[in-house]
């Protein structure tokens, strides 16, 4: 008799888990339960719907051919509870229909939900959060209205920056408000956050850091926003507000099941095989806490890339395999209409907090020879450990090749490479595409010289 796998959630982790389980075992029965009314969507593309770069929300909604893979998908449904002893999942649809599913292995991929701060006026019309495809569609339709001229985006992390950039491209007057002293807090360093802020301001986005939104005012729809700090308070016009205030792991089901929850992050604890504290139950994606590959600290990745890889490991192992998830290096990129900013590993500030002695090199260099008309500068900062030159992280900003540099260093970190190893990499060269000496190699070379001088002084 074939094994039965039930997957709760059909986001990046659940989708990946289902596919990996099917590839591993062609006979296993796979059933996926998901709350959405459509098969799946591409959440990272939602800002491009809002800004009109993509023609409509239908562009990012996908119909999956699960039937061909013999995977059953129950849409518009949720798992009410799980009987761990009997290995039964109790499912209820939005229309009230009930279903009991037997399972041999259960994979929890319940994802995350938008965190909505308790701001007075948050329930007014034209105040939105952004999590699902229908949210992007609603924001786009509201922003297209002629009456909407002033927009406030609350939250200066990746999604806030991307949404603000797209709305500014529509010709709206956009104010981006972040409660921390810098944009992208706990991700990039203050120095790089300053560069990001400068680039956004050049596109006429007003940046307010170290400020809290105190109240959203209006009768039926939002009309203005009150923000400030302990000393100041200001009111600005706003006909539309987007709350990009972060996400929290969805762990209600996990708690009712009795899975071990990490207290600090309020997320499901798993091991390197994506196994939870209860036998035959796996978890992956935004709802879990995992290890930071560089520091071995517990971390919330909550990114599509790690979720997909975690889901793959969970799916393989649920189907009888033996896959390992090595931890998250948190490779990360944010796009705007005029630049990209990326990072991987840890930055210098984080290293100092952990007591790791690092050596760094920041430089600005052309991505192609200066005589090429398409040559543009890229700014990057490479971080390495002092004692052995091991590469720990990278921050980078530019108009092109940000993703390439992040990916190169991601490989370097996961392979345990040093700056000396990076110096030996045989990068390709042609004037139309790259510099003779790649900017990343220039940074590695500078660090190796610093390390050698340190050795000489001892």
Active site positions, annotated:
44
Closest alpha carbon to 91 in 103, 83, 102, 80: 80
3-state secondary structure of 13: helix
Long-range contacts of 445-450 (CB under 8 A, 24+ apart): 446/361, 446/363, 447/359, 447/360, 447/361, 447/382, 447/384, 447/389, 447/419, 448/389, 448/419, 448/420, 448/423, 450/359, 450/361
Record the tokens describing residue 43, joined without a space: 């959440």
Residue with tokens 């924001």, as numbered in its chain? 139
Residue 359 CA: distances (Å) to CA of 283, 293, 388, 392: 37, 19, 10, 10
Cβ atoms of residues 178 and 209 within 8 Å = yes
Spatial separation of the C-alpha atoms in residues 383 and 402, rounded to whole Å: 16
Closest alpha carbon to 159 in 54, 312, 325, 46: 46
Question: For 119-137, b where at least 16 C-beta lie within 10 A, e where not — what string?
Answer: bebbebebbbbbbbbebbb
Strand partners, 33: 8, 74
Helices (H), 129-217: 133-143, 158-169, 190-201
Record the tokens describing residue 280, joined without a space: 């035959």
Number of helices (H) and strands (E) in the chain: give both, helices first.
11, 29
DSSP element (H, E) containing 17: helix 12-24
């Amino acid at each position: 008799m074939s094994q039965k796998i039930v997957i709760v959630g059909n986001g990046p982790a659940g989708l990946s888990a289902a596919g990996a389980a099917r590839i591993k075992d062609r006979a296993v029965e796979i059933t996926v339960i998901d709350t959405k009314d459509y098969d799946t969507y591409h959440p990272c593309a939602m800002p491009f719907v809002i800004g009109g770069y993509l023609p409509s929300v239908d562009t990012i909604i996908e119909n999956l051919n699960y039937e061909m893979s013999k995977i059953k998908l129950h849409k518009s449904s949720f798992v009410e509870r799980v009987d761990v002893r009997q290995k039964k999942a109790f499912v209820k649809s939005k229309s009230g229909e009930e279903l009991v599913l037997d399972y041999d292995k259960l994979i929890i991929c319940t994802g995350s939900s938008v965190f909505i701060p308790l701001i007075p006026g948050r329930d007014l019309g034209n105040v939105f959060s952004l999590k699902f495809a229908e949210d992007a569609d609603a924001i786009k339709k509201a922003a297209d209205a002629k009456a909407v001229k002033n927009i406030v985006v609350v939250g200066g992390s990746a999604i806030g920056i991307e949404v603000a950039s797209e709305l500014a491209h529509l010709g709206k007057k956009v104010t981006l408000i972040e409660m921390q002293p810098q944009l992208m807090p706990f991700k990039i360093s203050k120095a790089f956050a300053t560069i990001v802020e400068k680039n956004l301001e050049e596109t006429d986005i007003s940046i307010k850091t170290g400020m809290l939104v105190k109240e959203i005012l209006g009768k039926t729809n939002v009309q203005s926003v009150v923000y400030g700090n302990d000393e100041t308070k200001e009111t600005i016009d706003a006909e539309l507000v987007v709350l990009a205030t972060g996400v929290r792991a969805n762990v209600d089901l996990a708690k009712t099941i009795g899975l071990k929850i990490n207290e600090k992050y309020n997320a499901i604890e798993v091991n390197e095989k994506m196994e939870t504290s209860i036998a035959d139950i796996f978890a992956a994606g935004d709802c879990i806490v995992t290890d930071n590959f560089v520091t071995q600290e517990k971390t919330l990745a909550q990114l599509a890339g790690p979720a997909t890889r975690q889901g793959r490991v969970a799916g393989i192992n649920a189907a009888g395999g033996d896959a390992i998830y090595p931890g998250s290096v948190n490779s990360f990129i944010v796009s705007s209409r005029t630049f990209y900013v990326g990072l991987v590993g840890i930055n210098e500030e984080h290293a100092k907090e952990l007591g790791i002695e690092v050596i760094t090199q920041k430089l600005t260099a052309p991505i192609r020879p200066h005589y090429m008309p398409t040559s543009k500068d890229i700014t990057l900062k490479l971080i390495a450990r002092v004692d052995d030159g091991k590469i720990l992280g990278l921050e980078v900003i530019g108009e092109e090749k940000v993703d390439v540099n992040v990916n190169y260093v991601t490989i370097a970190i996961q392979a345990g490479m040093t700056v000396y190893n990076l110096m030996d990499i045989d990068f390709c060269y042609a004037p139309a595409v790259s510099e003779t000496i790649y900017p990343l190699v220039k940074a590695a070379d500078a660090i190796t010289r610093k390390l050698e001088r340190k050795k000489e002084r001892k």
